Amino acid sequence: MIEIEDVHKSYGKLEVLKGVSMSVQRGEVVVLIGASGSGKSTLLQCINGLESIESGRILVDGTDVHAPSTDINELRRRIGIVFQSFNVFPHYTVLENVALAPRIVLGLTRQQARERARDHIAKVGLSEKLDVFPSKLSGGQQQRLAIARALAMNPDYMLCDEITSALDPELVNEVLDTLRMLSRDGMTMIVVTHEIPFAREVADRVVFFDSGTVCESGPPDEVIGNPRNERTRQFLGKML
């Protein structure tokens, strides 16, 4: 499980996380919603140590992410992350993008890594594109590739950081379908998204973020269907 305890984080003078606490159980799908700049993405990047924190603590299966003694590279194998801006490796083919980390991080042989990569590429529906470079893929395909790349590490957790925000509207669903599949498979996920209907559909729990704090948290039917907090209501009013 992921435990976030009173986390503070600033960029210079700008405080983006002002004492965030929450936890995510194994198998749970937690969706973070909230206005841009409310700290959701920063929180995700703190969870796998891509960003440092000033105070508080983040534990992943009991391991303190930001403790100097933690082997962060080992920890990151268990936490997949998919970004808004795809970030697939432009100089590797689809197959190589997915096979790279299993080979050089997990130590699989080239053959094993490719086999594993093929499985995950098939899962996201890109088997036709194995030897194609990402520049030849659509945004939706690139994002699915990024998901396959993260899944190929067999992570225990998946973090999704506004992964449909950079997509043309007609490509959003193919990526959301991939997430639906993951949630059916029981993957533990923290999903930052502006797709409120999607949040309502897949989330076990919805967390509303407002200016660096958790404002409201609960089952989707409560937080989205019947928000108690005024700011949640205002935000949803603008989104829906």
Partner 1 sequence: MAAVPFFSAFSLNDLMFMAQGAAKTLLLTLWSGLLGTVVGVVVGWIRSTRAPVVSQLLGVYIDVIRTVPLIIQFIVVNSGASILGAPLTPFGTGILVLSFYMGGFVAEVVTAGIHAVSDTLRKAGRSLGLSYWKDVRYIVLPLSLRAVFPAWIGLLLGLMKDSSLIAVVGYIELLRASQIIINRTEQPLQVLLGAGAFYFVMSFAASRYAASLERRWQF
What is the contact surface with partner 1 in residues (CB under 8 A)?
A: 45, 48, 50, 73-74, 76-77, 79-81, 83, 85, 87-91, 100-101, 104-106, 133, 135, 146, 149-150, 153
Neighbours of 219 (CB within 10 A): 13
CB nearer to partner 1: pick between 66 and 149? 149
The C-alpha torsion from 199 through 144 and 163 to 4, rounded to 10°, is 80
Reported in sequence order, the residue ranges of the chain that DSSP labels E, i.e. its strands, are 2-11, 14-24, 29-34, 55-60, 63-64, 79-82, 157-161, 188-192, 205-210, 213-218
**Least distance in angstroms from the C-beta of 102 to partner 1:** 9
Give me the least distance between CB of 232 and partner 1, in Å please.
30
Considering beta carbons, is residue 178 or 232 the nearer one to partner 1?
178
- Minimum distance, C-beta of residue 150 to partner 1, in the bound complex (Å): 7
Least distance CB 125 / partner 1 (angstroms): 21
For partner 1, give the closer residue by CB, 68 or 237. Answer: 68
Q: What angle do CA 123, 124, 125 make, to 5 degrees?
A: 90
24 or 159: whose CB is closer to partner 1? 159
- Under a CB-based contact definition with an 8 Å cutoff, are residues 51 and 224 in contact? no
Closest Cα to residue 120, out of 167, 187, 74, 173?
A: 187
Answer yes or no: are the C-beta atoms of 206 and 197 closer than 8 Å.
no
Nearer to partner 1, 80 or 227 (CB): 80
121 or 214, CB closer to partner 1? 121
For the bound state, the minimum distance from the C-beta of residue 138 to partner 1, rounded and expressed in Å, comes to: 16
| In the complex, least distance from residue 24 CB atom to partner 1, rounded to whole angstroms | 18
The C-alpha atoms of residue 81 and residue 47 are separated, in whole angstroms, by 10
Q: Assign 3-state DSSP to the chain and report helix, strand, coil percentages, each to 5.
A: 40, 25, 35
Query: CA 54: distance to chain centroid?
Result: 22
